[in-house]
Amino acid sequence: MTTTPHPARRVLISLLAAAGLVGAGALTVAHDPTPSANLSSTYDSQARQRAEVVAERRPHSHPGVGGITAALDDGHGHVHDPATKNAISRSGEAATAPDPTTPRQRAASRARAEAQRTLAEPRLTEVPLRSKRRVVPESRYAMAGGCYTLGGRPLTFQATGLGTYLLYAADRTFLAASSGDTTTWAAAPSPDADWTVRGAGRGRFTFTLADGRALRRTASGVGMGTAEPFALRRTEGCAAFPEVETNVDGRPFGGATSFQEVRGYVDPHVHGQTHEFLGGRVICSPPFHKYGAAAALVDCPDHQLADGRGALLEDVLAGHAPGTGHDPVGWPTFSYWPNPHSLTHQQVYYKWLERSWRAGLRIHTSLLTENHILCTVYPLKKNSCDDRDAVRLQAKDMRAMQDYIDAQYGGPGRGWYRIVTDPFQARKVINQGKLAVVMGMETSVPLGCNVQLGRPTCTEEQMLTELTEMKQLGVSQMELTNKFDNAFTGVAGDAGTIGPLTNSANFLSTGSFLRMQQCPASNPPGTEDRLQSPNLGDLGGGQQQTPIGGAQQDAIFGAIWKLFGDVGVQPAPVYPAGPHCNQLGLSPLGQKLLSAMIDQKILFDPDHMSVAGRNAALDYLEQQQAAGRSPGVVSSHSWSTPDAYPRIYRLGGFVAPYAGDSTGFVEKWRQHLGWTDSRYYFGFGFGSDMNGFGAQGDPRGAGASNPVTYPFTGLGGVTVDRQRSGERVFDVNTDGVAHYGLYADWVEDAEHVAGAEGGALAADLSRGAEAYLQTWERAWGLAPDSCRNPGLRTSVRTFIRAADPGLRARALMRRVGQPWQRLGREFTYCATKPGRERVLMTVELSRGGTVVGVRRG
């Protein structure tokens, strides 16, 4: 199985790219040697410039304009969403498609959603952030973040891992080993200050370094020698370890039982580990570091070249000339990054993620990703460019991050970041007040199955083996492609100036250019892929459909290719006039993959597929559902065409549009309200695509008529204030979604934008986690609820026989399907009896989740 270019081609690409980087860097330094004082040092000045035109740039409607285009067309011939981040579909031209449903259908759908909001709410409870700290630590993990006396001094025990600590003094120094048998107080953490703690009896612990040296007691306090136990007691007078703040007050919310209906926001499209992506040298800084924010949140080495002017890729992505530069200092000043348009800097640092969890986020899908062509083109790398190697490495990093957060909260399993592999585990985690982290995958060559000159590079047996490995790794959600055609499906492609670049990369990956032709006349308007250039429409040979604003759909692709990707690929063919559809659809191997994903209970995301591929995939899943199988479908970030969304809802699927600006997101929510299905629970989510080179929400400006006011009340009653990272304070009104912690603020902002409908939007977003879980449960074989699906109702007698006392909740649902409501220790279903088509049945469960009785009503 081959996923990277031929070795000779790879060498050529790397040589040309490296030469380009060195040449560009040298020219940049020679051109302008001015010092860093004149660099683009603050994001604030750029935000003010954007605020001057934000009202005109923002998607908005004008008199006489309605439907989907109301958020796009200004009524005088151009659009206001140059990156399509606020469109109903990021698949470009499809965003202007007419609504595939009728006004009557839309009205009925909105009424259903409104009716669901009136149902009884599950009872939520407050959950402690961590176990109560004892005077004497009960284990080697329990002292994390606490203040204890050691050698006569109060020290903060800052966890670097499970059972390992920095010992941080009130004068902001670290207890470290020195030469011989002495210790010192170091100014910075290091391996000489990273102590492994082991229990040596109740309240007594030893302290050892990785090289075996250990602490011993001395007359003056502590020294080095043979390990001796120290008695630890909680004390006062310690300094707080410097770290990013959450600025959320109040306990997290959980459920009254572990199996009840959940509440919380869901983001099914985040890239939490892309610091390893594209060879590991593109995204600056990891999402955590054992020595904290000061060690993690630093700029890339190449960004620091030439006093800040080495960030060629960042410059191009931000729309600047290469060599413009920026202030490379991250922690503690953050004068330039993070910001919504700085795409090469870490935006999902774990403390920023923690803030969003504290404010209501309860499901977070972290996608493992790679692009082997861009990885090969980009000259700086430390990791393999093979998609499978990248996926394995990023999955390992997710587990390491879970361990690190566990260490901060008192030991294995005690942290709030919990990787889950099934919906039942996820429900339990959410009801414990924690974050259910789903592992997903988005690569251009999944499972090592590329296509070369029309032939797959893997067999069915190899594909199934790779899929089983991914499932064992923890993958529960998966796209079939990202940027290129592969052995499973064609891709939607990109338009504008990026289109020829991704098409050339498709040639390098597959040996073929995209097979774009005019779409069949039978396709509804907007059911099309991305318009390719050059085409006869460009040359005056046919009617041309202009992409939205010349939309740049993949900034990272264009930026890397512009800097390093001119490798002499022959020009793409001249295509016919649009609209364009990729002739490569779902392959026989792709259909077998979908079947295997149903068997493996992996959620299928149709985003990025060609129209032909996605339609064939949905056709197949509809057939499988009719045959009694249980597919699970999630569209996570608006990379499907609008005709697909009602079909996904009809399959019992979950849709989360790309977040974008709060203004555009509200319009997308309103549109989706018209597409719900009466047979399923409705809730809504947002796909941030953060760290995936997706532009984030811009600020509406401090002068907005209804800005977010701080502090505000978040989901579950917590108090959310402006977020502080070191010396920088972030405000969504002026900073937009600069980092992941500001999604709590973005939700509040969206509710303000929605006006009188703000309460309805808040309800639908809070129901998002439950809707996602119910889609996932059905993928695990549970039938939908019998109240919304009358055909699934049994007689009262049959139902009572099925709900045996002692049966556990999961086994009960395997027998009688999903409950209509799950409130505390009661599940509600519907049955029938002579003369009555709908009889409410309530199953009572014990606190442990076993059936104790059944009653009518």
For 354-406, write each residue's pLDDT tens digit.
999 999 999 999 999 999 998 998 889 999 999 999 999 999 999 999 999 99
- Tally: H helices and E strands in the chain: 22, 33
pLDDT band at 57 (very low <50, low <70, confident <90, very high): very low
Q: How many CB atoms sit inside 10 A of residue 230's CB?
A: 20
Give the C-alpha separation, 776 to 774, whole Å.
Answer: 5
- pLDDT for position 235: 97
Amino acid at 647: R
Q: Please, are residues 80 and 53 in contact by the beta-carbon 8 Å criterion?
A: no
pLDDT tens digit string along 157-205?
999 999 999 999 999 999 999 988 999 999 999 999 999 999 999 899 9
pLDDT over 70 at 552, yes or no = no
Q: What is the mean pLDDT of residues 218-234?
A: 94
Q: What tokens were used for 182?
A: 């002495």
Across residues 529-556, what is the average pLDDT?
59
Q: Is the pLDDT of residue 816 over 70?
A: yes
Model pLDDT, residue 778: 98
Cα–Cα–Cα angle for 257, 263, 264, nearest 5°?
Answer: 130
Whether residue 146 is predicted with pLDDT greater than 50 in this model: the reply is: yes
Segment 68-89 shows an average pLDDT of 44
613: number of Cβ within 10 Å: 26
Confidence band of 44 (pLDDT split at 50, 70, 90): very low
The tokens describing 806, both together, are 């002692």
| Residue type at 362 in one-letter notation | R
**Closest-CA residue to 706 (of 662, 652, 660, 640):** 662
Pairwise CA distance, residues 840 & 823, whole Å:
14
Average pLDDT over residues 672-691: 97
Q: How confident is the model at residue 564 (pLDDT cuts 50, 70, 90)?
A: low
Whole-number average pLDDT of the chain: 87
pLDDT of residue 695: 85
The helix (run of H) or strand (run of E) holding residue 218 is strand 214-218
126, 390 Cβ separation under 8 angstroms: no
In this predicted structure, the answer to whether residue 720 has a pLDDT above a threshold of 70 is: yes
pLDDT value, residue 13: 42
29's torsion region: left (phi>0), alpha (psi -120 to 50) or beta?
A: alpha
With bands split at pLDDT 50, 70 and 90, how would you rate the model's confidence at 88? confident
Tell me the C-alpha distance between 263 and 769, whole Å: 6
The predicted pLDDT at position 21 comes to 36
The predicted-structure confidence for 5-20, as pLDDT tens digits, reads as follows 444 444 444 433 433 3
Cis peptide, bond prior to residue 332, ω within 30 of zero:
yes
Burial class (CB in 10 A: 0-12, 13-18, 19+), 461: exposed
pLDDT attached to residue 560: 64
Residue 551 has pLDDT above 50, yes or no: no
Distance (Å) of CA 499 to CA 188, 238, 506, 534, 691: 48, 57, 10, 9, 22
Q: How far, rounded to the nearest angstrom, does the alpha carbon of residue 719 sit from its chain's CA centroid?
A: 24
User: Is 457 in contact with 5 (CB distance < 8 Å)?
Assistant: no
| DSSP state letters, 113-161 | HHHHHTSPPPPEEE--SSPPPPSS-SSTTTTTT-EEEETTEEEEEEEEE
Angle at 81 between CA 75 and CA 85, to 5 degrees: 140
CB distance 127 to 254 below 8 Å = yes
Q: Identify the band that residue 605 occupies on the pLDDT scale cut at 50, 70 and 90.
A: very high
Q: Taking the model in full, what pTM does it have?
A: 0.90
Is residue 815 over pLDDT 80? Answer: yes
Contacts of 277 (CB under 8 A, 6+ apart): 271, 283, 369, 370, 371, 375, 390, 394
DSSP secondary structure of 490-541: -B----TTHHHHHHHHHHHHHSS---EEEPPTTSPTT---PPPSSBTTTTTS
Of the listed ranges 55-59, 128-132, 213-217, 533-537, the least confidently predicted one is 55-59
Q: For 517-604, where are the alpha helices, taking DSSP H only?
A: 555-564, 588-600
pLDDT digits (tens, 9 = 90+) for 416-471: 999 999 999 999 999 999 999 999 999 999 999 999 988 999 999 999 999 999 99
Over residues 705-718, mean pLDDT: 96
Give the C-alpha separation, 285 to 307, whole Å: 18
**Phi, psi of 273, deg, nearest 5:** -125, 30
- Predicted local distance difference test score (pLDDT) of residue 417: 98
- Look at residue 465 and give its three-state secondary structure: helix
Could you tell me whether strands 230-231 and 455-456 are parallel, antiparallel, or unpaired per DSSP bridges?
unpaired
CB contact set of 285 (below 8 Å; sequence gap of 6+)? 275, 296, 297, 298, 299, 300, 330, 345, 346, 349
Tokens 């790679």 belong to 370
Mean pLDDT of 209-228: 94
pLDDT-based confidence at residue 539 (cuts at 50, 70, 90): low
The CA distance from 315 to 326, in Å, is 8
CB 263 within 8 A of CB 769: yes
624-658 confidence digits (pLDDT tens) = 999 999 999 999 998 898 999 999 999 999 999 99
Q: What is the pLDDT of residues 250-293, one digit of tens each?
A: 999 999 999 999 999 999 999 999 999 999 999 999 999 999 99
Q: Is the pLDDT of residue 677 over 60?
A: yes
Q: What is the DSSP letter of 412?
A: T
d(CA 45, CA 55): 17
- The pLDDT value given to residue 495: 82
Residue 721's Cβ-count burial label (10 Å; 0-12, 13-18, 19+) is middle
* Token code pair at residue 760: 């309805």
Question: In this structure, what token pair is assigned to residue 337?
Answer: 């990054």
Residue bearing tokens 């306090």:
221
Please give the average per-residue pLDDT across 721-726, as a whole number.
98
pLDDT of residue 318: 78
Share of the chain above pLDDT 90, in %: 73
